[in-house]
Chains A and B, each alone.
Chain A
């Protein structure tokens, strides 16, 4: 729309860093910034756990069971006398890497399947679609439980199994968008020049569906975190005595009944906050992606 621009306020001056934050604020809003901060804290906690965790997360002392909040134990200790704060920090590692594996594997294979099926179309598309339908038929957790039954319980098995369960969703969403883009002239024109499908896909299709992939990944991250926590809770994911938020929720159950809710509540809070934050960030990015498509 050709309209007249009235310069009411100009771009903010200042250091590049300040400008970055202003831009981030304009894009994400206050809640978005809070969400980003929460995720950053979780990531930093995981990375710096060896440095900042005051205690070994797997070693407790029987004399220190259920000590309340104190200077020595910020969030108290669990039924084995282990420092809850340290366990939360170390727990962030598996609680974040698990979903990261899921999201990474899902995004790569989901995108690959979607693009191959959109580009070749016809029989390839039909076959891949049926394959995805087949995977759809299995509930996510059931698939994961099956895989764990075969390969033994570990966070990697659980994450990979969950990835396979997530691929159909991701592939399908990306496929429908890619299909629409594929029939637009900016894709068809290079096709008419006899340029190879692989080049067109990488140069034209992929960048234009990238925002969708990123958004999907952020939202999947939250789902994966909850489902992996559930698997750990069931004893099928991370194995004790290792620290993991899902495992802590489950461990804390007995303590909860005995009147010591700290462990379950705090671990649960970590999960909820991270998932909600990522969901919000994903939503904001999604809005942007949609706007980008319109422009």
Chain B
């Protein structure tokens, strides 16, 4: 459903232009989870931002992005708004930057559903509660009434996920959604994100620096380096038989012979 063809992105600089993306091609099928893994500066986030027209103003973009056959880069005005609000949702790294700090969480969710999907406010309120339950929040009422600063990063990211699945978009874009979280929170949020995505049959493009994390939730993984995709494959193949030297380096930098497998000490 998402098809990126030969995407190039250049940032105009004062003395020289910076080539950020160089012929990136990838695809995401309906209901498929695809990982985009790379280190800082690899261009993985910029690829994702290009889809939503969120590249910097001094960027020149070439190539094609198709969403169900529709040319995304050519969308303007109302069409762009529709794509952003109906077809695609985004989860960013820092949930604190996503939610308005002076409004309670409920407003964030209700506003999204009311404005973007035209749901009546009353119906949106009820739906907001259901969504929070869906993302594994127990004290729904308390969270709805809370302001962002009263909630932990993990809790807020669940709220953002709730907002992202509210309109049942076909494609979810996740940009390092758990990088700012503690490991235990990361695992929980990742599990929730994965469950929600599967239940709703949404496709996902998941950007991360963590190959193991991508492998846990993705059907296919693209490894990116210096603005190019150097290898694509299913997680097991990348793990057992990496082709590109960079993928091998990535695999080697985390010790493979980790002594723990499963904790087992659980009753």
Contacts and interface: CB of A to CB of B under 8 A. Distances in A.
Interface of A: 1-11, 26
B16 interface: yes
A21 to B, nearest CB: 16
A25 to B, nearest CB: 11
Given A6-B19, A11-B15, A26-B14, A1 B226 contact: no
Contacts of A10: 15
Given A1-B40, A1-B41, A2-B41, A8 B16 contact: yes
Given A2-B41, A3-B226, A8 B14 contact: no
Contacts of B91: none
Contact of A5 (B18, B22, B40, B41): B18
A174 B127 CA distance: 48
A4 B19 contact: yes
B15 A4 contact: no
B20 interface: yes
Q: Which of A3, A4, A10 is the most central at the interface, judged by chain B CB atoms within 10 Å of its CB?
A: A3
B227 A4 contact: yes
A216 B40 CA distance: 35
B17 interface: yes
* B: contact size bracket: 10 to 19
Nearest to B225: A2
A4 B226 contact: yes
Chain B contact residues, majority secondary structure: loop
Q: Which of B16, B226, B227 is the most central at the interface, judged by chain A CB atoms within 10 Å of its CB?
A: B16
Nearest to A27: B14
A9 B15 CA distance: 6
10 shortest A-B CB distances, which residue pairs? A1-B41, A2-B41, A3-B18, A5-B16, A4-B19, A6-B17, A8-B17, A3-B20, A7-B16, A6-B19
Interface in B173-228: 226-227
Nearest to B39: A2
A227 B2 CA distance: 62
A2 B40 CA distance: 8
Contacts of B14: 26
Nearest to A11: B15
B12 to A, nearest CB: 9
Contacts of A4: 18-19, 22, 226-227
Contacts of A6: 10, 16-19
A11 B15 CA distance: 7
A26 B14 CA distance: 8
19 contacts: A1-B18, A1-B20, A1-B40, A1-B41, A2-B40, A2-B226, A3-B19, A3-B20, A3-B43, A3-B226, A3-B227, A4-B19, A4-B226, A4-B227, A5-B13, A5-B16, A6-B10, A7-B16, A9-B16
